[in-house]
Structure formats: C-alpha cells, structure tokens
Structure 1
Amino acid sequence: MDGGWYRAIALDWYDRRGSKGGIGEYPFFPLFPSAGGALMRLGVPSTVALAGLAWVGALAAMAGARLLTARHFGERAARLAPWVIALAPGGLSLILGYSDSLYLAALIWAVVAVDQRRWWVAGVLAALATASRPNGAIAMIAVVAIAIGLHATRRQLAALVLPSIMFLAVWMTYIGWTTGEPLLFWTAKSAWLETTLLEFAAHPFRQPLALFHVACFLVLLVPYLSRARRQPVAWSVVVFLGVMPALALGIVGLARYAILAFPLPLVAAAVLSERPKWVQVVALSGSALALMIFARLLVTQSWVP
C-alpha cells in the first residue's frame, strides 16, 4: 500500500535510476515523505513519524472543516462535520502513513484563507497541497475557482497560483535531471493495475473492494446532489476535480477521494444536522461500523483505502 512507498522515500529518497516500465516511487509527491524523513533523522521511529504526521494533518483538516462548515452552514452542522470525516470509511487514510491528511488540511485552510481574502497565504497552502499528491494541483484550481467567485483581481489570482507553479516547475526539473523524464510521476502511474469505471460497470459484484468504494462515494454524493444548487458553484468544481482521478483512472480509492473532495462530507454534515438526533446517531454509528469493518479487511485481506 501507499504507506510502504512513503516510508521507502522517507528513508532512501527516490530511485534515481527511474522507474520506466515498472511500479516505482515517482507517483508519490515529496512533501509528506520529506517531513517524515526529517523526523526519522531526529530519531523518531518511521511508523511514529509517518503516522504522527498523518494524525496531526487529520486534526488540522477537521479543525478547518469545522470552521468552514460553521461559516457556510451554521454551528449545528459544524459540530457534525469532523465526525462525518473521522467516521467515514474513506477517512481511514487520514490516520495511516499517507499524505491524504496533509493534502486535505492544506486544501481546506487554503479555502478558508481565500474566504478571508488572504491571497498569498492561500497560495502557499495550495502549494503545500500540490506538493502532497500528484493530483494536488487540484487545490490550486479549486482556490482559483473560489476566488473568481469572489471577484478576485488578476494580481490576487496570480498570488494563488504562483507558489504551486513554482513548486511544479522545480519538481519536474529535478525529476528530469535525475531520470531524464520530467513527467515520470505521471507515466509511472500507468504501470499500476487499476479497476476502471467501465470494468466495474460491466461486473459490479466481481470485486467487493471496488463495490465498497463506490458505495461509500454514493453515500456522500447523494446528499450533495440534493443540495448542489444551494452550494457555491466553485464547490462543484472542487468535487468534480476531486473525484475525477478515481473515476477516470481507477475506482479503488474512491472512498478516500470522496473525503478529499471536502464539500461532499461538509454538505453531508449539513444535511444530517437538519435531521432528528436519533437519525444522526444511527447514521454516524453505521458509518463507524463500516469504518471498523474496512479497517479489519485492510489488515486481514489487504483491502486498499
């Protein structure tokens, strides 16, 4: 799973020989393993370093989610938002040795910064999200879409995109210099075996893991669609860009992509906040049960988050 790759990068950096024609480290971006590697060099055990970073990122993400939900949906929904994220099966990756929590925290706080018109802060946070995942540039596009809705000027939009563009330029230059292929982080991904949406549609019950991911996605998508017209247009852009990689390339992982597309769990919390208390308890308990089952299957059958 991804945690093993991040640990390998944190310990030994990237394979300078390149990974053409095979699975390698390059689909994983450097921010998370670099931070983990720094902690390891200070004597922190690898598992503690990577999982600890993920937990800190998860707490930051949920704090930002609470603030953003309160601003858009009110305090009742805000109290539920961290629980919706934490107890969702797709939220499991936020506490593993994955970069997901850093990405989500950076993205959510970048959106908060845009709402507050703190353009350079938002740009730097979007760059941190970009440095966390190969599709992390979604964060840059997301904050730009939100800023356009706030009638940001060209100079303000430039502040949002320049940090991410600078990181990507430096990273691609480095990869090109060390491997001869600047886009190796993209081409190396093609060596991974994936279940496409068309393959799933043809045989939906052949792979229980794929079916589980699709079900988790739909549980969050349906509430969002029921209130899509009441959300900022830019949020629909965030959702579309957030889940499109999984829908286009491989649906295993869709449950976690649904969490990383933050408007989905936030709107789910808003919808749930309008229901009776017993409905909230049943919904969150059911989600927690699904999370525990998923965690057990991850350990016993190597299910992929």
Structure 2
Amino acid sequence: MTADVDAAPAAAVRGRAAGRKPERVRGPAPWRSRWLPEELRATLPAWLAARVLVCAVSWHQDPAHPLGRLFSWDTQWYLAIARDGYDRTGILIHFFPLTSLVAAGLAVVTRLPTSIALFGFCWATALLFGALVHRAVVRETGDRAAALRAAWLTQLAPGGYALVMGYTEPLSGVLAVGFFLAVRGAGQARGRIWAAVALGFFSGMARPVGVLLALPGAVEGLRQARRGGWRPAGVARAAATTAAPVAGLAAFLAYSGLRYGSWLLPYTQQTSQRGRGAVMGDPISILRDVWVRDYRGHGHGVAISACALIVGFAALLPAVSQRLPVSYAAWVVPSFVLAIGSKDFTSLPRYLGALFPCVIAAALVARRRWQWAATLVVSGALLLWTTYYTFAGYSVA
C-alpha cells in the first residue's frame, strides 16, 4: 500500500480532532492522472543544468562547432540508421532499432531534419525519464523530498551525457521505469498489465540488455499470482510480463536472421573486438590493462574514474535491496555485473547511469542537507569528468 493511501485515514482523524471538516486526501493516482506535470516541473531544473554542463564541455573542446561533440560516438550511428536504415552488411545491427525508428517516424511526420527529430525525441524522453523516477520514488516510499533528489540525479549522474546526446538511454530509461510502475501496479488496475507488456516488449527492442526486464516481470508476476491463489488469470499475467521483453528481443533477432542470415548477429557484433570485447570480462584484468596501457596518456584517469564509479555504485546495491522491493534488485544486480565487464570499461558511465534503482538508493541515503550537497557536487563533478574524457576520445562512450 502506498504512502498516499496510508496518509488518508490519518489526515481525516486529525481533521475531526481539530473540529474541522476532514480534509479530502487523494488516494494513489491512476495511470492517467495529473501527477505528470508536477514531476516534470521537479525534473526540469536538473534537465536544464545537465544540458548546460554537457554543451559547455562540447563548446570548450571545439569552439568552432559548439555542439559538434554531441554528434560523436553512437549518436552518428543512430542518426545514420534513422536516415538510411541498416547497412547492407549488418555492421551497425548491434545498435538496437527503436530509438532510430522513432526518430525516423518523427522526421517524416513533422518534416523536420532527422537530426532535430532525434535530439528532440531524446531530450524529451530524458525529461520524462526523470519525471517517472520521481513518481516511482513517491509510489514506493512516499518520500517526495527523496523523489526530487532522485529526479535530479537521473540527469546529473556520471553517465548523464548520454541523456544529452542522441543515444538510446533516454528511451530505454523511460521504458524501464514505466515497466516497473506498470508491473508493480498490475494487481490494482487491469489496464496496467497491458501497459507492462507493451513497455516490456519495446524494451527488448531498445537495448541489448532490455531483455533483463523479464526478471522483475517474473518476480512481480509470481508475487501477484501467489497473492491471488495461483488462479489461471494471475499465472497468465505473470507469464505475459515475463515474456514481453523476450518477445521484443526475439522480434528484432528474427529481423536480423531474415535480413543478414544470422539471428545472433546483433550480439556477435556487440561482443566483437570493435564492441565490448566479450559478454562479460574480468573487471580486475580490464583495470590493469587500462592502467598499464595508459592510452594516449590518459589511461590512468580513465582507470581512476572507473574505480570511483564501480565502487560507488556497488556501495549502493545493498541500499537497493534493503529499501526497495526485491524486483528492483533482481534487475539492477545483473545489469551492474554486465556493465562493469566491457573491454576498456567501454561505456561504463552511461551503463551505470542507466541503473535508476541505484540513483533512487543514493537519493534515499542522502537525507541530510550536507549529504545531499556532497552527493550532488560529486555526481556533477563526475559528469563533467566523464563528459570531458568522452568528448576528447580518451574513453569510449
């Protein structure tokens, strides 16, 4: 039961004790409710601040093209796919299609340049991502102050540059948080099961690790099925929420198989030496290699920032398991393990920044004013550091 529900009887009792007419307290907001504008307003200042910081780094590194760095790394590939589709050989097939598909559709409908459509979509979904995290914290804990802190951290996390560039992280973040909101409320409203299925399906098409949402889908589905006495309808809902991310992934892999003759090509490309190198590497060996090679004289800086990020996010995992429902830990632990095992810590900041349960845990832990100030300063400093290294080409985004 949410904090909003628990607060209603208490407010009524206080009103009667004071001789006043009991104040009407709203219960939990339905799926279509008025909460979104409030959450968007809460996220907007941090959303703006992140864009100022990241764009300032881009301008500093290339004053002749102030926003040019935003088009580097994966942005150029998502943009190319949106404009021209996948190439004939499948060399870009490991960039999952959903972000580019939406950008291409928006460009057709609005007649805007594809680059404007891509960035407009990514920036809008980045704002929505923070708003949904705000809502998730309110629903799970009832703590609006922590919700505000979490919304800020989504935008100012060390990997926040990916929310400013034309990456898939904004969309995949919206789908992931939306999936948790839907699947956690599926037992209260029948329509939410279909929302969870749709969000899970599209998550499987948004990122290579989108399929991991099947784990919290199974946890929440089985929990609700057990609560309902294992009725067939409850078991069917559990199966649907578990299968939806797998089905989305299967649809994309089927396309790959039909077009390129290999349904595993997206993953073989992803784990090639041009990508992350392996499904899961040894973080200790990766750290030693990055430090010893000292790529372009900045390997030590990359290694230090990677250590800080890994230790920091690892320290938040116990708080996730203690302060949030188990389904959050079921998703964030394997996601964390995969994030820290990429070659040369490729994309480590944005992989970790996408772990919104850790962001929520940080917001819940940093309750005192000085704790929150320190968290915000450290997070913002790491955002600037990782953005600088990313735009300078010293680390792979």
Give me the whole-angstrom Cα distance separating, in 2, the residues matched to 1:227 and 1:134. Answer: 23
Where does residue 116 of structure 2 map in the other structure? 48
Where does residue 229 of structure 2 map in the other structure? none
Q: Label 1:228 to 1:125 Cα distance change in 2 as closer, same or farther (>3 A).
A: same
Where does residue 189 of structure 1 map in the other structure? 270
Is contact 1:210–1:252 with CA below 8 Å preserved after alignment?
A: no
Q: Label 1:163 to 1:227 Cα distance change in 2 as closer, same or farther (>3 A).
A: closer
Deviations 1:187-220 (A, max 9, x none): 1123225474142243463433244234223223
Unpaired segments of 5 or more residues in structure 1? 19-23
Aligned length: 298
Structural mapping, 1:56-71, within 5 Å: 56-71=124-139
Q: Label 1:39 to 1:260 Cα distance change in 2 as closer, same or farther (>3 A).
A: same
1:225 to 318, 327, 339: 318
Unpaired segments of 5 or more residues in structure 2? 1-72, 187-191, 227-233
Where does residue 283 of structure 1 map in the other structure? 375
Q: Label 1:67 to 1:171 Cα distance change in 2 as closer, same or farther (>3 A).
A: same
Deviations 1:58-78 (A, max 9, x none): 111111100111122311211
Using the TM superposition, name which of 28-37 and 132-141 deviates more: 132-141
Using the TM superposition, name which of 294-303 and 125-134 deviates more: 294-303
1:30 aligns with 2:97: yes
Q: Label 1:46 to 1:211 Cα distance change in 2 as closer, same or farther (>3 A).
A: farther
Q: Label 1:166 to 1:228 Cα distance change in 2 as closer, same or farther (>3 A).
A: closer
Q: Partner of 1:97: helix, strand, or coil?
A: coil
Where does residue 256 of structure 2 map in the other structure? 175
Q: Label 1:234 to 1:167 Cα distance change in 2 as closer, same or farther (>3 A).
A: closer
- Structure 1 residue 224: Cα displacement: 3.3
Structural mapping, 1:192-211, within 5 Å: 192-194=274-276, 196=281, 197-203=283-289, 205=291, 206=294, 207=299, 208-211=301-304
Is contact 2:159–2:386 with CA below 8 Å preserved after alignment?
A: no
Q: Label 1:194 to 1:211 Cα distance change in 2 as closer, same or farther (>3 A).
A: farther
Give me the whole-angstrom Cα distance separating, in 2, the residues matched to 1:167 and 1:193. Answer: 22
1:6 aligns with 2:78: yes
Q: Partner of 1:98: helix, strand, or coil?
A: coil
Q: Partner of 1:187: helix, strand, or coil?
A: helix
Is contact 2:171–2:206 with CA below 8 Å preserved after alignment?
A: yes
Where does residue 263 of structure 1 map in the other structure? 357
Structural mapping, 1:57-206, within 5 Å: 57-73=125-141, 74-117=143-186, 118-151=192-225, 153-191=234-272, 192-194=274-276, 196=281, 197-203=283-289, 205=291, 206=294
Give me the whole-angstrom Cα distance separating, in 2, the residues matched to 1:165 and 1:50. Answer: 26
Q: Label 1:156 to 1:34 Cα distance change in 2 as closer, same or farther (>3 A).
A: same
Give me the whole-angstrom Cα distance separating, in 2, the residues matched to 1:245 and 1:224. Answer: 14
Q: Label 1:43 to 1:217 Cα distance change in 2 as closer, same or farther (>3 A).
A: farther
Give me the whole-angstrom Cα distance separating, in 2, the residues matched to 1:297 and 1:201. Answer: 16
- Structure 1 residue 37: Cα displacement: 1.5
Using the TM superposition, name which of 129-138 and 190-199 deviates more: 190-199
Using the TM superposition, name which of 212-221 and 196-205 deviates more: 196-205
Q: Partner of 2:89: helix, strand, or coil?
A: coil
Using the TM superposition, name which of 56-65 and 40-49 deviates more: 40-49
Tell me: higher relative CO, structure 1 or 2? Use CA pairs within 8 A at least 6 residues apart. Answer: 1
Q: Partner of 1:93: helix, strand, or coil?
A: helix
Tell me the TM-score normalised to structure 1 length.
0.88
- RMSD of aligned residue pairs (Cα, Å): 2.2
Q: Label 1:194 to 1:188 Cα distance change in 2 as closer, same or farther (>3 A).
A: closer
Give me the whole-angstrom Cα distance separating, in 2, the residues matched to 1:172 and 1:143. Answer: 21
Q: Partner of 1:89: helix, strand, or coil?
A: coil
- Structure 1 residue 158: Cα displacement: 2.5
User: Could you tell me which amino acid in structure 1 is paired with residue 205 of structure 2?
Assistant: A
Give me the whole-angstrom Cα distance separating, in 1, the residues matched to 2:197 and 2:362. Answer: 27
Tell me the TM-score normalised to structure 2 length.
0.69
Is contact 1:27–1:189 with CA below 8 Å preserved after alignment?
A: yes
User: Could you tell me which amino acid in structure 2 is paired with residue 134 of structure 1?
Assistant: P
Q: Label 1:184 to 1:204 Cα distance change in 2 as closer, same or farther (>3 A).
A: closer
